[in-house]
C-alpha cells in the first residue's frame, strides 16, 4: 500500500533543473468557504473543511461530482476568492490576492478575441514589462511547445476548440507561474481531441517541471493525468480520499489489460459514489 505522501513515481525532467524534491508548493489548511447571496443573503457552504499539500513538480488532480466545490477550491488557491476560514500558502507565501506565481486555465478558454495568437500568448510577459522582441521570443517558445507553430497570426475565432485550449495553456505557461491551476480545461472539446490534449499536457508538464493542480469530474481523466488524485465529497466538501496513481502513464490508457490501473479507476469510481464519512489518505497501488 502506497501512502499518499509517496514521492513521484515518475521522475520529472532533470535538464530543466527540476529535482523532484518534495518541497511544498501549495499548502491548504483548514479551508472552509461559504458563499452569501448579495440579493437574498442566503448562505451556501461550498467547502466544509479541506486540508491539502501539493509538492513541487507534482501533478495533482482534484476529482469530484459537479457542484462539490472544485472550482471554488481552485479560485481560492488562485486568490480570486478569499476563504471564509483557513489559510492557503504557495511556496511559503500566504495567498491574499492573485499573483504571477499562479497561472489559471479556465474551462472556457480565456483568449482576447481582438488579439492574434502571438499577442495572446505574449500578454503575461507584456504585463510583466518584457520588451517586444523578448516577449515574442517567449511566446514563440510556448506556441511551439503546444504544437501551434505556424498559427501565430491567427485570431481565436480562426482556431478550433482544441487549438484554443492549447493556446490558453501556452498563454498561462508563458507568464512563467510557479503553479498551474486548471479548471476542467478540456471538458468542452470532443473525446478524441481531449485525449490528445491530455497527452500533450503530460509532455509539457515533463518538459517544464511545473506543479499542476487539475480539476475534473472525469474519473478516467484524473486516473490518466494525476500522480495523485484528491477525491472531494459532496458539499459541504471535504477530502473523501487521496489515491496515489502508481501505474506508468504509458500503461494508463489500456486499463482492460492493466489490472492495476483498472483497480485504481474502480477505486476512484467507488470513492466518487461514496456518501459516507471520508476515508481520506488511503493509497492504492498495483498490489492494493
Ligand atoms: N458565486 C456563488 N454564489 C453562490 N453559490 C455559489 C457560487 N459559486 C458556486 N456556488 C455554489 O457552491 C457550490 C460549489 O460550486 P463549484 O465550486 O462551482 O463546484 P464545482 O466546480 O465542483 O462544480 C455549488 O453548490 C454552487 O452552486
Ligand atoms: Mg467547476
Q: What average pLDDT does range 184-208 have in this prediction?
A: 90
Hey, what's the torsion of the CAs at 213, 145, 207, 17, to 10 degrees?
-110
**What is the reported pTM?**
0.85
CA 258 to ligand 2 center in whole angstroms:
31
What is the β-pairing status of strands 211-216 and 59-63? parallel
- Give 187's Cβ-side CA count (13 Å radius): 17
> Which residue out of 67, 235, 236 has the highest number of ligand 1 atoms within 8 Å of its CB and is therefore the one to mutate?
67
- pLDDT band at 20, cuts 50/70/90? very low
pLDDT in tens, 60-113: 999 999 999 999 999 999 999 999 999 999 999 999 999 999 999 988 768 999
The mean per-residue pLDDT over the stretch 196-210 comes to 92
Residues 6 or more apart in contact with residue 254 via CB below 8 angstroms: 261
- In the predicted model, what is the mean pLDDT of residues 137-161? 94
- Who surrounds ion ligand 2 at CB < 5 A? 71
What does the mean pLDDT of the chain come to?
Answer: 86
Non-local (6+) Cβ contacts of 25 within 8 A are 54, 55, 56, 57, 58, 90, 91, 178, 179, 211
**CA-proximal residue: ligand 1, atom 1 (nearest):** 35
| Closest atom of ligand 1 to CA, residue 74 | 17
Ligand 1 binding pocket mutation candidate from 43, 72, 215 (most atoms within 8 A of CB): 72
Summarised one tens digit per residue, pLDDT across range 223-254 is 999 999 999 999 899 999 999 999 999 889 87
**pLDDT (0 to 100) of residue 253:** 86
Of all protein residues, the one whose alpha carbon is nearest to atom 12 of ligand 1 is: 46
Cα separation, 99 vs 78, in Å, equals 8
CB count within 10 Å of CB 235 equals 18
* SS3 state of residue 227: coil
CA distance linking residue 88 with residue 90, whole number of Å = 7
Per-residue pLDDT at 255: 63
Amino acid at each position: 500500500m502506497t501512502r499518499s505522501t509517496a514521492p513521484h513515481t515518475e521522475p520529472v525532467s532533470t535538464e530543466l533543473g527540476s529535482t523532484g524534491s518534495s518541497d511544498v508548493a501549495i499548502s491548504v489548511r483548514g479551508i472552509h468557504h461559504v458563499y452569501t447571496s448579495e440579493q437574498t443573503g442566503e448562505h451556501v457552504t461550498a467547502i466544509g473543511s479541506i486540508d491539502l499539500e501539493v509538492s513541487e513538480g507534482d501533478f495533482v488532480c482534484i476529482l469530484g461530482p459537479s457542484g462539490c466545490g472544485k472550482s471554488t477550491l481552485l479560485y481560492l488557491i488562485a486568490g480570486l476568492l478569499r476563504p471564509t476560514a483557513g489559510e492557503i500558502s504557495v511556496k511559503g507565501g500566504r495567498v491574499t490576492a492573485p499573483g504571477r506565481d499562479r497561472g489559471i486555465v479556465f474551462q472556457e478558454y480565456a483568449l482576447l478575441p481582438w488579439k492574434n495568437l502571438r499577442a495572446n500568448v505574449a500578454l503575461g510577459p507584456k504585463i510583466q514589462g518584457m520588451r517586444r522582441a523578448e516577449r515574442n521570443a517567449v511566446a514563440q517558445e510556448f506556441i511551439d511547445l503546444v504544437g501551434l507553430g505556424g498559427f501565430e497570426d491567427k485570431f481565436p475565432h480562426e482556431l478550433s476548440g482544441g487549438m484554443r485550449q492549447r493556446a490558453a495553456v501556452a498563454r498561462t505557461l508563458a507568464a512563467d507561474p510557479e503553479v498551474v491551476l486548471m479548471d476542467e480545461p478540456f471538458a468542452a472539446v470532443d473525446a478524441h481531441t481531449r485525449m490528445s490534449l491530455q497527452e500533450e499536457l503530460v509532455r509539457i508538464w515533463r518538459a517544464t517541471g511545473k506543479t499542476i493542480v487539475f480539476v475534473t469530474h472525469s474519473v478516467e481523466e484524473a486516473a490518466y493525468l494525476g500522480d495523485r488524485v484528491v477525491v472531494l465529497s459532496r458539499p459541504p466538501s471535504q477530502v473523501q480520499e487521496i489515491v496515489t496513481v502508481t501505474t506508468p502513464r504509458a500503461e494508463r490508457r489500456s486499463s482492460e489489460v492493466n489490472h492495476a490501473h483498472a483497480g485504481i479507476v474502480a477505486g476512484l469510481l467507488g470513492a466518487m459514489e461514496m456518501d459516507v464519512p471520508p476515508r481520506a489518505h488511503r493509497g492504492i497501488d498495483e498490489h492494493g
